[in-house]
Structure 1
Amino acid sequence: MLTVENLSVHYGMIQAVKEVSFEVKQGEIVSLIGANGAGKTTILRTISGLNRPSSGSITFENQPIHKVVPQKIVAAGLCQVPEGRHIFSGLTVQENLEMGAFLRKGNELKEDYQMVFERFPILKERKNQDAATLSGGEQQMLAMGRALMSKPKLLLLDEPSMGLAPIFIKEIFNIIQEIQKQGTTILLIEQNAKMALSIADRGYVLETGQIVLSGSGEELLNSEEVKKAYLGG
């Protein structure tokens, strides 16, 4: 579904991503793990069209997208939930969800609102509330619901557990698995390596802009190298 080949990205003279290659197959949860500054968010932003690669290619459903503008990438079925959530303050929960569907029209939106409210009941309760007044966990649910309103084939999740209480983290990861079971492919970037790998079909480990390990989620969870570096073992 998604193929990244020899991707390099620079910020000025600094190379943040160094010839990274990986793939995401339809129906999978694939996780990228690594420390802060490893290049994880840069990779997602480049896939989404927000950054431009210095070299390499990104292909989504056999179509190159590394030179495509972000709105066309969303229209093709690829949507990102950004790090820090970036909900629209001053707009209600309902209006934030409407923003997620800005490329879509028609009566089917009513069914999609219902789908989001069934998955995130707290959003239905607070649909007329200013999104900025939600808790961190509720804002993460809103950011995910907003992305789902675009009907993505592939959902990019950037640090969905960041800043959340443990009870919310468990709930968010349960929801990620539910979204996958209902047919959406997921590329997950997460500092909580144990949680990410426990739900991932496959994973890649990034260090200083390069992939240094890959394997199934279970293989990486049991890797001594990963345990020492990321799992406190």
Structure 2
Amino acid sequence: MIVLLQVDNLVVNYGVINAVKGVSFKINQGEIVSLIGANGAGKTTILKTISGLLKPQSGKIIYQNKEIQSQKAPKVVAEGISQVPEGRHVFSGLSVMENLQMGSFLERDRNQIKQRFAEVFDRFPILKQRKHQDAATLSGGEQQMLAMGRALMANPKLILLDEPSMGLAPIFINEIFDIIKEINQQGTTVLLIEQNAKKALSIADRGYVLATGSVQMSGTGEELLANREVQKAYLGG
């Protein structure tokens, strides 16, 4: 297996708070890997650090055999990593089309951009129907699809998803997880952070359990779903 991303002994502070304490994990090309844990476990901090939005105190982030922990966010996107942030963060006052265009800001080839629009609209037909609508007027599920479509406009090799099911109606949650599986089957590697641990582990090849800023447990999605401690802490078992 080809290791796409490796995080080695990552330490990240928020002011005086030690949010991430020596976390290590890896993602192989083509996998869905899930990070689960309670609020405050350091999951979002890890994603933001991989994305170049935060700088680590120490440790390495190795992507395609190259250290990227000191790179700024636009460079990380150019390398092939896109993030779908927690809470979606669509741009209100801009149309669906304009929001999607934001995702392809590094692409200069008009034909490539056209092709990516076609792919996004193929995957999310509702966005095509709403393409001239203000993004702020979409439902929560539609906004999540827009945020995912915007990330895919950058044609990433690795997509980072931060709480994609947060605040969505159950009908949309199933749809979003089906879309994540589809994106993965079509060749994009996925790192998924998700409060709904049962859903996340059910689609994950492998998972890591985080608590208070460090990895407590790891295994395949199936192993973690069957684990008594995981069931008790995260699955209501």
Structure 1 residue 85 corresponds to structure 2 residue 88: yes
Tell me the equivalent position of 1:47. Answer: 50
Structure 1's consecutive aligned runs of 4 or more residues displaced over 3 angstroms after TM superposition are none
Determine the structure 1 residue equivalent to 2:226: 222
Give the structure 1 partner of residue 206 of structure 2. Answer: 202
User: In the aligned structure 1, how far is the partner of 2:41 from the partner of 2:131?
Assistant: 37
- TM-score, normalised to structure 1, is 0.99
Per-residue Cα deviation, 1:92-134 (whole angstroms, up to 9, x for no partner): 0000000000000221211111110011010000000000000
Distance in 1 separating the partners of 2:15 and 2:112 = 44
The equivalent position to 1:118 in structure 2, one of 122, 130, 138, is: 122
User: Matches of 1:130 and 1:11 in 2, distance apart?
Assistant: 34
Match of residue 147 from structure 2: 143
Distance in structure 2 (CA, Å) of the matches to 1:167 and 1:115: 23
1:25 aligns with 2:4: no
Q: Which ranges of structure 1 fall in alignment gaps of 5 or more residues?
A: none
CA deviations on 1:18-62 (whole Å, 9 max, x unpaired) are 000000000000000001111000000000010110110101101
Amino acid at match of 2:229: E
The CA distance in 2 between the partners of 1:108 and 1:39, in whole Å, is 36
> Who is 1:130 aligned against?
134
| CA distances 1:165-198 after superposition (whole Å, capped 9, x unpaired) | 0000000000000000000000000000000000
Alpha-carbon deviation of 1:84? 0.5
> What pairs with 1:149-188 in structure 2 (closer than 5 Å)?
149-188=153-192
SS at match of 1:111: helix
Task: Work out the CA distance in 1 between the residues paired with 2:14 and 2:142.
Answer: 33
Could you say what secondary structure the match of 1:99 adopts? Answer: helix
CA distance in 2, matches of 1:143, 1:40: 19
TM-score if structure 2 supplies the norm length? 0.98
Unaligned runs of 5+ in 2: none
